[in-house]
Amino acid sequence: MSTTTINIGKEVICDSCNKEWTNSPVSGGFMFSGYAYCPDCAKSKIGKIREYDEEEYITNRCPEDKSFADWIRDDIRGGKDGKIIVSTY
């Protein structure tokens, strides 16, 4: 097994479209099946999610009073240092 640590710091990027949200004050978005969907993707993807009856896979939503970036950093990452650890077997 090998392990690699990547420090992304405060950077926030949508898991669906790869748009950067690090300094954006915009609120919205949700977690869908372990992936963070930004406010833009949340709006464009919710129709298909409903059409396929997959709303149960939305496990968390960004609060209206918090930016998507702050929600990811504070609530999803738990305020941790932004390190991702990748283990390969």
CA angle 8, 11, 13 (to 5 degrees): 110
Measured distance CA(29)–CA(27) in Å, rounded? 7
Tell me the pTM: 0.85
At 30-47, the pLDDT tens digits run 999 999 999 999 999 999
The two structure tokens encoding residue 60: 């968390």
At 56-84, the pLDDT tens digits run 999 999 999 999 999 999 999 988 778 88
